[in-house]
Amino acid sequence: MVRRIEGKTTAAAVIDKVKAEAARLERDHGVKPGLAVVIVGEDPASQTYVASKSRTAKECGFHSVQHSLPEGTSQDDLAALVDKLNADPAIHGVLVQLPLPKGLDSEPIIQAIKPEKDVDGLHVVNAGKLATGDLKTGLISCTPAGAMIMVRMVHGQDLSGLHAVVVGRSNLFGKPMGQLLLNANATVTMAHSRTKDLASICRMADILVVAVGRQQMVRGDWVKPGATVIDVGINRIDAPERGEGRTRLVGDVNYTEAAEVAGAITPVPGGVGLMTIAMLMANTVTAAYQQSGLAAPD
Ligand code: NDP
């Protein structure tokens, strides 16, 4: 029987810990973690994500501020807001919702965020710390950090002797996920669109992590019996069985087929996706402890 790794309960446990750590920081040191979320434009999916981030931050007891800028905001104006938030001592985490509207260049904006406030973990300083094995003083990209918690729920802290295959090499997910697995002593293979015979490589994995953005690409016969499958993909497909014009979310893995073979698997929806916001809150608390000169909680 396959083990289903549920995002809801796992994320709830992270949030409970964040709430306790935020309360302790305020009680013992008079510091309330502060998170600023910046959104430019009207993209509905981004609006939903940002609203959810701001709401969760409030639930965690944070000082939560949202800056909604209009579609035509200039690069300079956005950079000026980031500078202001960098200088604000009540703000410990700054998140600029991506993607930015056409005409704005996200990379200089991400790199303008102070590394210690970069709660998305995308600044080169944080990416570099992860790459050099410093998991203590940097901030780690939220989705891979969440996926790693799910891997550890099955395999524990030390992945020695296990072969992990990560399909996808984005800066946002694939690369940091590979680094985290390597840091935990897994033997890591990174696969991508130029990889030959992807199915055979996936079949070698004790831990198969897929973040590609192609609906149900990984089939059941790509999965090694008993493997742990972490499906990061979020793809919206038509669902005429639910009524005309209806859609539903699926992952990059064919869940039904893979669940027949895998030992453990994350569902979509209800899996890794739910971890991202929880890890954003965890990063904000970590940032608040670090900026207060205190050791961040484990
Ligand atoms: P990107 O588009 O940045 O990267 C996709 C990666 O997949 C690339 O490395 C690409 O290879 C690789 N790829 C594309 N097609 C194939 C193929 N046919 N075979 C093998 N590899 C392939 O996507 P992201 O990493 O940002 O996201 C991936 C998925 O994860 C998306 O569905 C996204 O929605 C989801 N996601 C979910 C998050 C969450 O749950 N909160 C957060 C982040 C992502 P190459 O480099 O060679 O082009």
**Torsion of the alpha carbons at 118, 91, 56 and 121, rounded to the nearest 10:** 10
From first CA to last CA, the distance across the chain in angstroms is 33
Pairing of strands 235-238, 247-250: antiparallel
> Which residue bears the tokens 């901030």?
139
70-84 confidence digits (pLDDT tens):
999 999 999 999 999
The reported pLDDT for the residue numbered 181 is 98
Q: Is the dihedral of CA 194, 209, 222, 158 positive or negative?
A: positive
Ligand 1 touching residue 212 (CB < 6 A) = yes
Give the chain's residues under pLDDT 70.
none
Find out whether 9 and 69 touch, Cβ atoms under 8 Å. no
Report whether 170 belongs to an annotated binding site. yes
Instruction: Take atom 16 of ligand 1 and give the residue whose Cα is closest.
Output: 193
Round to whole Å and give the CA distance between 264 and 251: 15
Q: Please tell me what DSSP assigns to residue 159.
A: -
Q: Please tell me what DSSP assigns to residue 100.
A: P
The reported pLDDT for the residue numbered 26 is 98
Ligand 1 touching residue 166 (CB < 6 A) = no
Ligand 1 touching residue 266 (CB < 6 A) = no
- Compute, in angstroms, the gap from residue 94 CA to the centroid of ligand 1: 24
> What is the SS3 assignment for 41?
coil
Round to whole Å and give the CA distance between 80 and 112: 10
* Domains of the chain (ranges, CATH numbers): 27-115 (3.40.50.10860), 142-274 (3.40.50.720)
Find out whether 251 and 233 touch, Cβ atoms under 8 Å. yes
* Structure token digits, residue 159: 């992945």
Report whether 168 belongs to an annotated binding site. yes
Answer whether the bond into residue 269 is a cis peptide, omega within 30°: yes
The closest alpha carbon to 73, from 38, 119, 41, belongs to: 41
Round to whole Å and give the CA distance between 215 and 292: 44
The reported pLDDT for the residue numbered 184 is 98
DSSP H or E segment with residue 68: strand 63-69
Residues 6+ apart with CB under 8 A from 189: 163, 164, 165, 166, 201, 204, 205
Report whether 169 belongs to an annotated binding site. yes
